[in-house]
Amino acid sequence: MTSRQPPNTRVQRTRSSASPPHSPLTRSPLGRPIALALLLLLGFTPLQSAELPPPALEAIRESVFRYEMKECPWGEGGEGTVYFLSQGTNDDPSSELLARFSQERFPVEPVSASVRDSEGYFRDRSTGARGSIYAVAEIRHVSASEVEAHGSYCTNIAVFRLRLEKGQWRVVKERRIGRS
Protein backbone atom coordinates (compact mmCIF):
# COMPACT_ATOMS: atom_id res chain seq x y z
CA MET A 1 0.00 0.00 0.00
CA THR A 2 1.41 3.38 -0.96
CA SER A 3 0.87 6.47 1.07
CA ARG A 4 -0.18 9.54 -0.78
CA GLN A 5 1.69 12.80 -0.05
CA PRO A 6 -0.29 16.00 0.37
CA PRO A 7 0.00 18.42 -2.55
CA ASN A 8 2.68 21.10 -2.47
CA THR A 9 0.65 24.26 -1.95
CA ARG A 10 3.60 26.49 -2.85
CA VAL A 11 3.59 25.24 -6.45
CA GLN A 12 0.84 25.94 -8.92
CA ARG A 13 0.83 23.72 -11.97
CA THR A 14 -0.47 25.18 -15.16
CA ARG A 15 -0.38 21.86 -17.04
CA SER A 16 -1.27 18.34 -16.15
CA SER A 17 2.39 17.32 -16.10
CA ALA A 18 5.67 19.14 -15.84
CA SER A 19 7.34 19.35 -19.22
CA PRO A 20 10.93 20.49 -19.34
CA PRO A 21 12.15 23.18 -19.92
CA HIS A 22 8.94 24.57 -18.41
CA SER A 23 8.76 24.68 -14.67
CA PRO A 24 5.92 25.14 -12.24
CA LEU A 25 5.10 28.62 -11.02
CA THR A 26 6.03 29.26 -7.43
CA ARG A 27 3.99 31.44 -5.17
CA SER A 28 6.43 32.43 -2.46
CA PRO A 29 9.88 30.84 -2.21
CA LEU A 30 11.28 32.35 -5.42
CA GLY A 31 8.90 35.28 -5.74
CA ARG A 32 10.19 37.29 -2.77
CA PRO A 33 13.93 36.92 -3.50
CA ILE A 34 13.40 37.87 -7.14
CA ALA A 35 11.37 40.94 -6.17
CA LEU A 36 14.05 41.96 -3.66
CA ALA A 37 16.81 41.48 -6.25
CA LEU A 38 14.91 43.68 -8.71
CA LEU A 39 14.47 46.41 -6.12
CA LEU A 40 18.18 46.32 -5.28
CA LEU A 41 19.13 46.49 -8.96
CA LEU A 42 16.86 49.49 -9.43
CA GLY A 43 18.62 51.39 -6.67
CA PHE A 44 16.47 50.66 -3.63
CA THR A 45 18.61 49.98 -0.60
CA PRO A 46 17.00 48.64 2.55
CA LEU A 47 19.34 50.60 4.84
CA GLN A 48 19.75 54.32 4.21
CA SER A 49 22.00 56.59 6.25
CA ALA A 50 19.15 57.48 8.61
CA GLU A 51 19.00 53.81 9.62
CA LEU A 52 22.72 53.45 10.30
CA PRO A 53 23.54 53.86 13.98
CA PRO A 54 25.04 57.28 14.82
CA PRO A 55 28.44 55.84 15.87
CA ALA A 56 28.76 54.15 12.46
CA LEU A 57 27.86 57.39 10.66
CA GLU A 58 30.46 59.29 12.68
CA ALA A 59 33.14 56.67 11.90
CA ILE A 60 32.28 56.75 8.19
CA ARG A 61 32.44 60.56 8.09
CA GLU A 62 35.76 60.56 9.93
CA SER A 63 37.24 58.08 7.47
CA VAL A 64 36.09 60.12 4.46
CA PHE A 65 37.37 63.40 5.97
CA ARG A 66 40.76 61.85 6.69
CA TYR A 67 40.94 60.46 3.15
CA GLU A 68 40.04 63.87 1.69
CA MET A 69 42.67 65.60 3.84
CA LYS A 70 45.32 63.12 2.75
CA GLU A 71 44.43 63.49 -0.94
CA CYS A 72 44.37 67.28 -0.83
CA PRO A 73 46.52 68.44 2.09
CA TRP A 74 45.49 72.05 2.46
CA GLY A 75 48.20 74.17 4.00
CA GLU A 76 51.15 72.08 2.82
CA GLY A 77 51.90 74.69 0.15
CA GLY A 78 51.48 77.61 2.52
CA GLU A 79 48.21 78.70 0.89
CA GLY A 80 45.98 77.98 3.84
CA THR A 81 45.98 76.51 7.26
CA VAL A 82 42.41 75.58 8.24
CA TYR A 83 40.38 72.48 7.39
CA PHE A 84 36.67 73.35 7.48
CA LEU A 85 34.45 70.25 7.82
CA SER A 86 30.89 70.07 6.53
CA GLN A 87 28.33 67.27 6.61
CA GLY A 88 24.98 66.96 4.89
CA THR A 89 23.98 70.20 3.24
CA ASN A 90 26.54 72.56 4.74
CA ASP A 91 25.92 71.55 8.37
CA ASP A 92 28.56 71.38 11.08
CA PRO A 93 29.77 67.94 12.16
CA SER A 94 29.20 66.99 15.78
CA SER A 95 31.59 68.28 18.44
CA GLU A 96 32.53 64.63 19.12
CA LEU A 97 33.62 64.18 15.50
CA LEU A 98 35.56 67.44 15.50
CA ALA A 99 37.33 66.33 18.70
CA ARG A 100 38.73 63.32 16.81
CA PHE A 101 40.79 65.80 14.76
CA SER A 102 42.24 67.71 17.72
CA GLN A 103 45.75 66.31 17.15
CA GLU A 104 46.02 67.40 13.50
CA ARG A 105 48.90 69.60 12.41
CA PHE A 106 46.50 72.30 11.20
CA PRO A 107 43.29 73.52 12.83
CA VAL A 108 40.11 71.62 12.00
CA GLU A 109 36.96 73.72 12.37
CA PRO A 110 33.25 73.37 11.59
CA VAL A 111 32.13 74.90 8.30
CA SER A 112 30.19 77.58 10.22
CA ALA A 113 33.56 79.01 11.34
CA SER A 114 34.34 79.94 7.72
CA VAL A 115 33.44 82.95 5.65
CA ARG A 116 34.08 83.56 1.95
CA ASP A 117 36.17 86.64 1.21
CA SER A 118 35.86 89.02 -1.76
CA GLU A 119 38.31 86.90 -3.78
CA GLY A 120 36.27 83.72 -3.24
CA TYR A 121 38.59 82.12 -0.68
CA PHE A 122 37.33 80.61 2.55
CA ARG A 123 38.71 82.18 5.69
CA ASP A 124 38.44 81.51 9.40
CA ARG A 125 35.97 84.03 10.87
CA SER A 126 38.10 84.65 13.96
CA THR A 127 41.69 84.52 12.64
CA GLY A 128 41.32 85.35 8.94
CA ALA A 129 43.47 82.32 8.02
CA ARG A 130 42.68 80.75 4.66
CA GLY A 131 41.34 77.25 4.47
CA SER A 132 39.40 74.76 2.42
CA ILE A 133 36.07 72.99 2.91
CA TYR A 134 35.95 69.20 3.10
CA ALA A 135 32.42 67.78 2.91
CA VAL A 136 30.61 64.48 3.40
CA ALA A 137 26.99 64.44 2.30
CA GLU A 138 24.78 61.43 1.67
CA ILE A 139 25.78 58.04 3.06
CA ARG A 140 24.02 54.88 1.91
CA HIS A 141 24.45 51.18 2.51
CA VAL A 142 25.67 49.01 -0.35
CA SER A 143 25.97 45.80 1.67
CA ALA A 144 26.42 44.73 5.28
CA SER A 145 30.07 45.79 5.20
CA GLU A 146 30.12 48.49 2.50
CA VAL A 147 28.73 51.99 2.14
CA GLU A 148 28.95 54.81 -0.38
CA ALA A 149 29.41 58.40 0.70
CA HIS A 150 29.13 61.49 -1.46
CA GLY A 151 31.61 64.21 -0.69
CA SER A 152 33.73 67.05 -1.99
CA TYR A 153 37.19 68.45 -1.30
CA CYS A 154 39.43 70.97 -3.01
CA THR A 155 37.75 71.10 -6.44
CA ASN A 156 36.65 67.46 -6.57
CA ILE A 157 33.14 66.06 -6.18
CA ALA A 158 33.31 62.32 -5.57
CA VAL A 159 31.59 59.14 -4.47
CA PHE A 160 33.63 57.16 -1.97
CA ARG A 161 33.22 53.42 -1.42
CA LEU A 162 34.04 52.40 2.14
CA ARG A 163 34.47 48.91 3.54
CA LEU A 164 34.27 47.81 7.15
CA GLU A 165 37.53 45.93 7.83
CA LYS A 166 38.49 44.76 11.31
CA GLY A 167 35.99 47.12 12.88
CA GLN A 168 37.23 50.21 10.98
CA TRP A 169 35.63 51.96 8.00
CA ARG A 170 38.19 52.49 5.23
CA VAL A 171 37.89 54.23 1.86
CA VAL A 172 38.66 51.58 -0.76
CA LYS A 173 37.63 53.45 -3.90
CA GLU A 174 37.02 57.00 -5.06
CA ARG A 175 35.02 57.83 -8.17
CA ARG A 176 35.21 61.49 -9.16
CA ILE A 177 31.96 62.69 -10.64
CA GLY A 178 32.66 66.38 -11.12
CA ARG A 179 34.50 69.51 -10.19
CA SER A 180 33.31 72.43 -8.13
- DSSP, collapsed to helix, strand or coil, labels residue 17 as coil
137 and 109 share a domain? yes
pLDDT of res. 45 = 41
37 and 53 share a domain? no
pLDDT of res. 34 = 37
55 and 20 share a domain? no
59 and 101 share a domain? yes
Q: What is the per-residue pLDDT across 131-178, written as a single tens digit (0 to 9) for each?
A: 999 999 999 999 989 999 999 998 899 999 999 999 999 999 999 999
Specify if 5 maps to a domain: no
Range of the domain at 97: 49-179
pLDDT of res. 25 = 46
Specify if 115 maps to a domain: yes
Q: What is the number of structural domains in the chain?
A: 2
Mean pLDDT, residues 77-97: 86
167 and 148 share a domain? yes
Around Cβ 148, how many Cβ atoms within 10 Å? 18
71 and 17 share a domain? no
Specify if 136 maps to a domain: yes
> Can the peptide bond before residue 21 be classed as cis, meaning omega within 30 degrees of 0?
yes
22 and 89 share a domain? no
**CATH label of the domain that carries residue 122:** 3.10.450
23 and 54 share a domain? no
Specify if 160 maps to a domain: yes
27 and 58 share a domain? no
Higher pLDDT, 30 or 128: 128
Alpha-carbon distance 41 to 58, whole Å? 28
The CA-atom distances, in angstroms, between 179 and each of 75, 115, 117 are: 20, 21, 21
Specify if 61 maps to a domain: yes
32 and 109 share a domain? no
Average pLDDT across the chain, whole number: 79
Specify if 4 maps to a domain: no
32 and 16 share a domain? yes
35 and 57 share a domain? no
Whether the pLDDT of residue 114 is over 60: the answer is: yes
CA dihedral sign, ordered 101, 102, 104, 105: positive
Specify if 2 maps to a domain: no
pLDDT of res. 47 = 41
Specify if 6 maps to a domain: no
Q: What is the pTM of this model?
A: 0.69
